[in-house]
Amino acid sequence: MLSLSLAVCAVGSLILLANHPAGGGHELIDILRAEARDQRLNGLVHGGFIVTLSALVVCFAYLSRVLGLERVPVLTGLVMYCIGCGTLMASMLLDGLALPALAGRLLEPAALGDPGMPKALLLFSGTLIRFLMPMGLLFQAAGMFSWSIALVGRRGWPLASGVLGFAVAIAVLTGIFVLPKQLTEHVLLGAIVGLSLWYLAVAAVVWPSSRSASGAT
């Protein structure tokens, strides 16, 4: 059950990412119109991410029990990952639900009559998202790195998933702090893809135990 849940969350994250609405240009009125136009799709995609993150918290809480919560890397990974999920949920709520609804209100003639207000609200929202999303992914990457420490001590799929976790975590850290800001959006999208691939690797790790547990019942 755990293996299947992780695989579903991984595939679901990739599908949601592929259906993420594109931006609406650089002019203020174009951004507002795009956000208002894609309000339903934004809600579905970002709401789907919030549900997926909630399911992943449950999956990794159970995985931490399997790996041994008394182990420092496992407990650290669980705490870091939960912080990351909470931060990402706040970013998804703001970016996919609050901001499109706000854009619809700002397109009303009364709001457009004062162009300073829409611009200030969009700048404020965008600034929050610009900090929340990278922070959430960094905490998730830290959790992945910590869990990978607990996995590399074994052979086979656990070792492979641990090495993959190290590689993705280091890539996320390097991409956010080292690469130019113009590439930040691509780095964040790549981080979600990398995390999803790691979920699939962990699903392969727990698959044999899931089969044996179902067979015992």
Share of the chain above pLDDT 70, in %: 87
Q: Is 172 exposed, middle or buried (0-12, 13-18, 19+ CB in 10 A)?
A: buried
DSSP annotation of 153 reads: T
Provide the residue count of the chain.
Answer: 217
Q: How confident is the model at residue 213 (pLDDT cuts 50, 70, 90)?
A: very low
Task: Tell me how far apart the alpha carbons of residues 140 and 36 are, in angstroms, rounded to a whole number.
Answer: 30
3-state secondary structure (DSSP) of residue 20: coil
What pLDDT does residue 10 have?
Answer: 95
What pLDDT does residue 215 have?
Answer: 42
Tens of pLDDT, residue by residue over 39-85, are: 888 889 999 999 999 999 999 999 999 889 999 999 999 999 999 99
Domain chopping of the chain, boundaries: 2-216
Task: Tell me how far apart the alpha carbons of residues 74 and 109 are, in angstroms, rounded to a whole number.
Answer: 54
Residues 6 or more apart whose Cβ sits within 8 Å of residue 1: 210, 214
* DSSP H stretches of helix in 68-97: 72-93
The yes-or-no verdict on residue 209 having pLDDT over 60 is no
Q: Taking residues 120-138, what's their average pLDDT?
A: 87
Q: Which long-range contacts (CB under 8 A, 24 or more apart) does 11-20 make?
A: 11/196, 12/48, 12/52, 13/49, 13/52, 13/192, 13/195, 13/196, 13/199, 14/193, 14/196, 16/45, 16/48, 16/49, 16/52, 17/189, 17/192, 17/193, 17/196, 19/44, 19/45, 20/45
Q: How confident is the model at residue 114 (pLDDT cuts 50, 70, 90)?
A: low
Tens of pLDDT, residue by residue over 139-197, are: 999 999 999 998 887 778 889 999 999 999 999 999 988 888 888 888 899 999 999 99
Task: Tell me how far apart the alpha carbons of residues 57 and 36 are, in angstroms, rounded to a whole number.
Answer: 31
Task: Tell me how far apart the alpha carbons of residues 131 and 60 are, in angstroms, rounded to a whole number.
Answer: 25
